[in-house]
Chains A and B, each alone.
Chain A
Amino acid sequence: GAVVSQHPSWVICKSGTSVKIECRSLDFQATTMFWYRQFPKQSLMLMATSNEGSKATYEQGVEKDKFLINHASLTLSTLTVTSAHPEDSSFYICSAAQGNSGELFFGEGSRLTVL
């Protein structure tokens, strides 16, 4: 299957700082990428849909000023957690759709710990 890479896989930061997570589709172009958040032993919660060249679409209840999404190219989307707080600690996962088939492939996830 297609490969989606996320970086960093694990990040620890101090409260109040900002953290950027990258999501890359390595062997295909993705006009749409999705960002999820997952708490321990829970399923994935969609945060936003990232569209190349346009603004992201956020799910209800997700603060767009806190979780900045940029989809600058067909292979890269970034999620920036601004002014992070301990409650933002979570597992963040991106996914990308390959072509028109709609198959979604996921990155390995990024674990954020805010101290």
Chain B
Amino acid sequence: QKEVEQDPGPLSVPEGAIVSLNCTYSNSAFQYFMWYRQYSRKGPELLMYTYSSGNKEDGRFTAQVDKSSKYISLFIRDSQPSDSATYLCASYPGAAGNKLTFGGGTRVLVKP
């Protein structure tokens, strides 16, 4: 079993819809949770970074972490065609220097 599981998709939604992405993880030691967006042939871009449980909002993006169920989510409101990309969740136990464990990525397609 992978430490971080993510549905590969693709997830296709119409423009303006809410995109809902999620991951599950198995390592109870994970404290930091990240969401990255990766366009084709580009490096990942950090979208959201959260510590422990709770919600975090940044513009159209909302990240949720539920440590009790080991479940992390990313919501994208008012989705745009430019949001079409692969979204990767990632987690690690501690602070700087810790190895990041990635999910497999979910491909999202927002249709105009």
Contacts and interface: CB of A to CB of B under 8 A. Distances in A.
Interface of A: 1, 4, 6, 31-32, 34, 42-44, 46, 49, 91, 93, 95, 97-109, 111
A43 B100 contact: no
Contacts of B100: 34, 46, 95, 104
Contacts of A100: 95-96
A106 B41 contact: no
Interface of B: 32, 34, 36, 41-46, 49, 88, 90, 92, 94-100, 102-105
Interface hub of A4, A43, A91, A108 (most chain B Cβ within 10 A): A43
Q: Classify the secondary structure of B's interface with A.
A: loop
B46 A111 contact: no
Contacts of A1: 46
A34 B98 CA distance: 10
A1 B58 CA distance: 14
A62 to B, nearest CB: 13
Given A44-B102, A102-B92, A97 B97 contact: yes
Contacts of B88: 43-44
Contacts of B41: 91, 109, 111
Given A44-B88, A44-B102, A93 B44 contact: yes
A57 to B, nearest CB: 9
A111 B88 CA distance: 20
A52 B111 CA distance: 45
A16 to B, nearest CB: 26
A22 to B, nearest CB: 14
Given A44-B88, A44-B102, A102 B43 contact: no
